[in-house]
Amino acid sequence: MAAKVTINVLHAHEGDCIFITISDLDKVYNIMVDSGVKSTYQYIDRKRRIQDGPLKCKINEFRGKRQIIDLVILTHVDEDHIGGIVEWIAKDDAALDMMATIWLNNGEKVTIPDYSSLLHSISKGRDLDKLLRDANKNIVNQVVKGRVFEIPHGYITILSPTVVAHNVIVEQWNGEVLNKTPDDYGKPIKELLDYEFGEVDASKTNNSSISILLEVNGRKDLLLGDADVIDVCLALEELGYNKDNPLRCKTVKLAHHGSRNNFSEHFLDLVKADIFIFSSNGNYYGHPDKEVFARIIDKTDAKVYFNYKDRMENIICEQDVKDYPDILNRVLDDLNG
């Protein structure tokens, strides 16, 4: 029996928390990519009651099945990607027993000739790294472009960060203004196609984000964290993919929650996917940007999946339905259906 891959994109507010399960008759292998914000694990509702968030519910499900998380991939140290695991460890004394291997780029420079920059960790990432090491967890922290890791039934190829991005000085900033872009949801897709994409995301933490190509029994999935789209495209080209020989994927989890600053039409030349995934409720940063959705709908035949259904309901306007009569049929309710 060929191994089966299922992907679940949890409600993680403006963040990412994605579970990938690889299963066959004999074994289950669970991967968690990022952990969302703090409330993804646990939150207080309007009646001041403590409620389990989707991450804690997933953990309880694994415990009920006597399963663990075999691989935790923390793509970078932004709050909307590591907040959930920090809260989990703080609230659950047995949390670390549930994790076998953890990827967290933090604290150690990759020493390669011609590159000499030193990585300085953002405080929360550094504290998490220390906590995990003190618990003698298996930490892999030089997860950079070009490395290939074997997993059951397949491989994970690292597309980013580059060694330079990994080693760049990253300092925690205070008082950063959130780059919430103006809402473009009311504009028709046809109008947005004429827009030019803005400057590529220059956030140092996002540029240090781990992005991966997962291959299991011939199936390929891209999970891009908050990665720089230029770095991803260069990595794919170095693997031999181009417009005439694109990477064919089952799914692509779009970089930075579908931000226009982490996307390009060239990326669509290099990657042909069955499904593009948008992970965000949009309440904090305004993601996904409709410009990205517009390019996917107009330039590809792919389907799309929103982990928050209301983002789909808001992003499609009446004119879009007239211009693209099949657009609603291209939006999936079930990612694994």
Which of these, 283, 274, 281, lies nearest to 304 by C-alpha position?
274
> Has residue 218 been placed in a domain?
yes
> Has residue 254 been placed in a domain?
yes
| Per-residue model confidence as pLDDT tens for the chain (337 residues) | 689 999 999 999 888 999 999 999 889 999 999 999 999 999 999 999 999 999 999 999 999 999 999 999 999 888 888 999 999 998 999 999 999 999 988 655 444 332 222 222 345 565 676 677 677 678 887 888 999 999 999 999 999 888 766 655 334 333 333 444 456 666 776 776 766 655 544 455 557 789 999 999 999 999 998 888 999 999 999 999 999 999 999 999 998 756 778 788 899 999 999 999 998 887 766 668 888 899 999 999 999 999 988 887 888 999 999 999 999 999 999 999 7
CATH number for the domain that contains residue 14: 3.60.15.10
Contact 158, 240 (CB under 8 A): no
Q: Give me the domain span that covers residue 162.
A: 4-178+203-332
> Has residue 193 been placed in a domain?
no
> Has residue 133 been placed in a domain?
yes
**How many domains does the structure of the chain reveal?**
1
> Has residue 104 been placed in a domain?
yes
CA distance 293 to 189: 8
> Has residue 294 been placed in a domain?
yes
Please name the residues in contact with 99: beta carbons below 8 A apart, sequence gap of 6 or more: 68, 69, 72, 137
* pLDDT of res. 162: 81
The residue count of the chain comes to: 337
> Has residue 260 been placed in a domain?
yes
